[in-house]
Every structure is written in structure tokens, then in C-alpha cells.
């Protein structure tokens, strides 16, 4: 699923994935307030762990700052810790 989504996105944006993100894990997140079947694939940076149902903050895909004609994928940038309860983070998404 992740490889198919990567190729589909590359065709849509007429560019290639920034190689920095090629080997990172991908997860599906459900945007708060979206239809029950809606989901978004995001990259989890190396060293970051996310649990099912955890609230996360996601940075949307954008042009790479490192390479011309490359893009950075949707990226998980923050997560709620177990001690924070259920905060309302920008992006309002839960991991699946």
C-alpha cells in the first residue's frame, strides 16, 4: 500500500520522494471530524513511536528543501505522551 501511494503521489506532483524518507515507517491516520473511512498515510521519522489511537500532529507534504524536483511526504511531527491525556494538537489526527 505504501509503495503504491508513493508512486501515485510522485505522478501527481511530477516529482520524486526525498530519499531521506524512503526507509521510514508509514502509518495511516484518521483526521478528526473526517468521514469514518477517511485516512491519510504519513511517515513516522526514525526513532519516533506512535500507538494506535494516539493523537498526533502531521505536517503536510511539501517541496523538499534539500533536493530540486523532490517532495517531502506527510510527516508525523509530534505525538501526545501518555502523561498528557488527550490534548488537541494541530492537525487533529489519530493513528490507526
Distances (CA, A) of 77 to 29, 31, 34, 69: 13, 15, 20, 23
Mean predicted confidence (pLDDT) in 3-10? 77
pLDDT the model gives residue 94: 57
Contact between residue 71 and residue 64 where contact means Cβ atoms under 8 Å apart: yes
Sequence spans of domains, the chain: 2-95
pLDDT the model gives residue 20: 80
Mean pLDDT computed over every residue of the chain: 77
Q: Provide the sign of the torsion angle of the four alpha carbons 75, 46, 64, 3, taken in this order.
A: negative
Contact between residue 10 and residue 16 where contact means Cβ atoms under 8 Å apart: yes
pLDDT at 84 over 60: no
pTM exceeds 0.75: no
Amino acid at each position: 500500500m505504501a509503495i503504491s501511494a508513493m508512486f501515485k503521489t510522485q505522478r501527481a506532483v511530477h516529482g520524486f520522494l526525498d530519499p531521506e524518507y524512503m526507509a521510514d515507517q508509514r502509518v495511516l491516520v484518521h483526521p478528526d471530524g473526517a468521514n469514518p473511512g477517511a485516512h491519510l498515510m504519513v511517515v513516522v521519522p526514525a526513532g519516533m513511536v506512535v500507538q494506535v489511537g494516539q493523537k498526533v500532529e502531521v505536517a503536510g507534504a511539501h517541496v523538499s528543501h534539500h533536493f530540486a524536483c523532490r517532495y517531502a511526504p506527510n510527516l508525523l511531527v509530534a505525538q501526545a505522551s501518555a502523561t498528557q491525556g488527550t490534548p488537541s494538537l494541530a492537525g487533529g489526527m489519530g493513528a490507526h
